[in-house]
Amino acid sequence: MPYLHRKDVPNPRRSAAIRSLLPMALFLAALTGFVWHSRGPTSVAGNVVPVLEATLQAGTPQQANASGPELKLPLEEKSVRFAVIGDSGTGDREQYDVAKQIEIYRQKVGFDFVIMLGDNIYGGHSPKDFADKFEQPYKPLLDAGVKFYASLGNHDDPGVERLYKPFNMEGERYYSFQKGDIGFFVLDSNYMDPAQLDWLENALHNSKAKWKICYFHHPLYSDGKSHGPDLDLRAQVLPIFKRNGVNVVFSGHEHVYERLKPEEGIYYFILGNSAKLMTRDFSSTQNMVVGKDTERGFMIVEIAGDNLYFQTISRVGETIDSGTAGRQAPPPTQSSR
């Protein structure tokens, strides 16, 4: 049974109770010397719901921009760590701000690769565009040897980007790679033709990876109103995901952050706000666990054994969301095609 730690699901009654107890709690905290630690704004559709939790960690507060970045990952030995960015290639100041935060966290977390959820280069695809929208903002990461694995969005040029070596696509629109026990399956959701569907089925079926992570641009589920879910894409790929034990799906396209309720045992994240932002974008909270449409951001992920730890960070270094996802049991029967 899949689970997510749902400590951050907003509960209005609980929030009201917390707010009423806040002054007394702060007074007691000051008296006793306990550190009260805010987990950052858990926001649904732009409505910030402050959730406070007591962490008895006297003397070791983890606060953003005070004594280094706030960290929610356990940093276990031999774990696989990576960052996630989506809809990043604008070349605007906001992209550079997010990139700076990614580098700050890289120094703390030590991840060595970044997955890109598409729209890597907006607008033109001249050499200057590549410089302004990728090479310059992520220069510290590239200089540190961090590898980027790109997927294609609707603003990307497949003829050029799949051949651009720093995107590590090996000349293909869709491809896979493995890090430790984790298999990554990178899809081109702009053009999900029968050849790609066949490849996906085979690649997932033949993979011996413990974790199977798929990422691509267009979300299968979304509460965003700019685009919403791609129903036709979902109808074609979801049966393949389910048959072959996909654990996690990352998408972009919607310029927000959204963590969705697991659907049929698969965890879904949307991160399309690493440079672009669409405020007041949520039309509902039907599928949502946590949503943020008021700030740009990125994710850092750590996978250790059967746990996936994630932390979503804003461009000013605030933690927007964090939690742990347990690995689901693989499907009971072999994939039947």
Interface with another protein in residues 265-294 (CB under 8 A): none
Nearer to another protein (CB atom), residue 105 or residue 167: 167
Please compute, for residue 245, the number of CA atoms within 13 A of its CA located in the half-sphere on the CB side: 22
Q: Shortest approach of another protein to residue 138 CB, angstroms?
A: 14
Distance between CA 190 and CA 162 in Å, rounded? 14
Q: Shortest approach of another protein to residue 237 CB, angstroms?
A: 8
Interface with another protein in residues 228-247 (CB under 8 A): 228-233, 235-237
Total residues interacting with another protein, rule: CB under 8 A? 39
Paired with 84 in beta bridges are 115, 299
Give the pair of three-digit tokens for residue 134: 């990728």
Angle between helices 231-243 and 194-206 (to 10 degrees): 30
H/E run at residue 232? helix 231-243
Q: The tokens 């048959």 sit on which residue?
A: 243
Q: The tokens 């899809």 sit on which residue?
A: 187
Residue 337 touches another protein, criterion: CB under 8 A:
no
Among 33, 145, 194, 332, binds another protein (CB under 8 A): 194
Binding mask 203-232 for another protein (x = CB under 8 A): ---------------x--------xxxxxx
Complete edge-to-edge strand list for the sheet that includes strand 175-179 = 175-179, 182-186, 211-215, 248-251, 266-271, 257-263, 288-292
Nearer to another protein (CB atom), residue 167 or residue 257: 167
Q: Shortest approach of another protein to residue 168 CB, angstroms?
A: 10
> Who contacts 24 (Cβ-Cβ below 8 Å, separation ≥6)?
none
Interface with another protein in residues 96-125 (CB under 8 A): 123-125
Residue 146 touches another protein, criterion: CB under 8 A:
no
Nearer to another protein (CB atom), residue 120 or residue 322: 120
Among 165, 208, 333, 336, binds another protein (CB under 8 A): 165
Nearer to another protein (CB atom), residue 21 or residue 195: 195
> Who contacts 254 (Cβ-Cβ below 8 Å, separation ≥6)?
219, 222, 224, 226, 227, 228, 270, 272, 278, 281
Residue ranges binding another protein (CB under 8 A): 123-127, 129-131, 154-155, 157-160, 163-166, 170-171, 189-195, 197, 218, 227-233, 235-237
